[in-house]
A = this chain, B = another copy of it.
Amino acid sequence: MPDPRRAGARTAAVIEAIRQRLATRALAPGQRLPSIRAFAATMDVSPATVVEAYDRLAAEGVIRARRGSGFYVADMALPPLALVAGEPRRPRAVDPFWVSRQSLDADEGTLMPGCGWLPADWMPQDALRRAVRAVARSSGPALTDYSTARGSGALRRVLQGRLAGLGIDAFSEQIVLTSSGTQAIDLMCRMLLRPGDTVLVDDPCYFNFLALLRAHQARIVSVPMTPSGPDIAQFETVLAAERPRLYITNSGLHNPTGATLSLQAAHRLLNAAAAHDMLIIEDDIYGDFEPEPSPRLAALDGLQRVILIGSFSKTLSASVRCGYIAARPDWIEPLIDLQIATGFGGPGQFAAETLAQVLTGGSYRKHIEELRARLSRARPRVAARLQRLGVTPWLMPRGGFHLWCTLPEGCRAIDVAQAALADNVVLAPGDVFSAAQSAAMMMRFNVAHCEDISVIAALERAIN
């Protein structure tokens, strides 16, 4: 009897061979694919294997069958993102876009315990309203003109002060504003990576790192997370064996686990990075949720091989969008050129000035203190409710709004998430966050969205 695993590998090889020909355009849109018999001979496999491969490509819309005349490349077929890296497609429920697409386009009334941001009424709407009015009143050009190449000086000076508070000395000229936090990471990846470069992430990590790295055709390797940072012994082993060019992480409050990098782990991690000449992107997007600041890699390293990025989308506004990059002074000029080439600059001046206005007003600190206090009350309450369903936090985080949880014995997160979706509830199944696909029984919960008692009821239905 044929070994099904080997048959699967042969089908995959045929699919890969066709994708190669499409990527290099050896097979052009509209062109007929080799006949099944001929291609079976070329690939030294059975015709049934080629049929299987062609059927799968047809199901993906990459090629089309024409009755009685074989298979053709779909008209101007684009390589969808998932195919660019030559990776097999994952089912949508563990695709890194699952949570973001469901959350962004959720209907009114959808419950979103899996979503990665706070409800609108937790955000400082009045302070934003005041800031918007003040900027509109104060200046015509702020409403109409392009920003300077680095972005608003006022906001960069605010950031300089905030970084200094974390022990990171940066001139405001070392800070570049970007359209969003994600775009900040994307710009750095465009500067630092070439297709095929190896990039290290935590397991689990923020799902969009995986989507972004796939768009860069990076080879992704991962190290398991512990409550005090990545497992350092494995970290050192992976660096020696895989020589990643770059490591992307959140240090202060890790997404999705809520872990905090310890000082000792930060020190060893930086030494390993130096020994293997690896760069680090430290995404500080959850920094303001910490009860007190934990060590930043960028502070220990002095912004040499660490690039700090962040945004205000989690604490202030995801609508008035702006991210930032703090990096080595000699990287700033090429970074600015790249941002002009690919976006003609970063955020709008109006957005940056509005954020500077809120951050320099007295109300921001008060807002953050209230957010922290409210989340500190919500975390244990939601954890207790989850535990009654057999859903157990992996860690009780120091801050933030995520709880990374183990589901009850025998529960698969994908199945629960798909059942919940039918019930109009967006969950965040663990493997979405896992490059190693090691989190089939895990799930991330947003405690702010779980205060609604109907979320727990819906989760109970989905589990059972």
Q: What residues of chain A have their CB less than 8 Å away from a CB belonging to chain B? A: 23, 28-30, 61, 76, 78, 80-82, 96-97, 100-101, 103-105, 117, 120-121, 123, 125, 128-129, 132-133, 136-137, 140-149, 179-183, 186, 190-192, 194-195, 208, 211-212, 214-215, 277, 279, 305, 313, 317-321, 328, 330-331, 333-334, 336-338, 340-345, 347-351
21 A-B contacts (beta carbon < 8 Å): A23-B194, A61-B330, A78-B334, A81-B338, A82-B337, A104-B149, A120-B141, A121-B140, A123-B140, A123-B144, A132-B132, A141-B319, A143-B320, A144-B317, A146-B313, A146-B319, A182-B342, A183-B343, A190-B215, A319-B349, A319-B350
Q: State which of B144, B190, B319, B340 has its C-beta within 8 Å of the C-beta of A97.
A: B340
Q: Which residues of B contact A76 (CB under 8 A)?
A: 277, 279, 305, 328
Are B120 and A340 in contact (CB-based, < 8 A)? no
Q: How many angstroms between the C-alpha atoms of A365 and B160 in the bound complex?
A: 42
Q: How many angstroms between the C-alpha atoms of A317 and B147 in the bound complex?
A: 11
Q: Which residues of B contact A145 (CB under 8 A)?
A: 117, 120, 318-319
Number of copies: 2
- Chain B: minimal CB distance from A98 (Å): 11
Main secondary structure of the interface of A (DSSP, over half): helix
Q: Check A318/B144 contact, CB under 8 A, given A214-B341, A342-B183, A351-B351.
A: yes
Q: How many angstroms between the C-alpha atoms of A76 and B277 in the bound complex?
A: 8
Q: How many angstroms between the C-alpha atoms of A320 and B147 in the bound complex?
A: 10
Q: How many angstroms between the C-alpha atoms of A277 and B128 in the bound complex?
A: 49
Q: Which residues of B contact A279 (CB under 8 A)?
A: 76
Q: Which residues of B contact A194 (CB under 8 A)?
A: 23
Chain B residue nearest to A115 (CB atoms) is B146
Chain B residue nearest to A350 (CB atoms) is B319
- Chain B: minimal CB distance from A123 (Å): 4
- Chain B: minimal CB distance from A357 (Å): 13
Given A146-B319, A208-B344: 19 more A-B contacts, CB < 8 Å: A29-B277, A76-B279, A76-B328, A78-B331, A78-B334, A80-B334, A101-B336, A120-B140, A123-B140, A125-B144, A129-B143, A141-B319, A143-B317, A179-B321, A183-B342, A183-B343, A214-B341, A319-B350, A321-B351
Q: Which 8 A-B pairs have the closest CB atoms?
A: A123-B144, A211-B341, A321-B348, A182-B344, A319-B349, A80-B334, A120-B141, A179-B179
Q: How many angstroms between the C-alpha atoms of A181 and B96 in the bound complex?
A: 27
Q: Check A97/B337 contact, CB under 8 A, given A76-B279, A128-B143, A351-B348.
A: yes
- Chain B: minimal CB distance from A142 (Å): 6
Are A319 and B144 in contact (CB-based, < 8 A)? yes
Chain B residue nearest to A351 (CB atoms) is B348
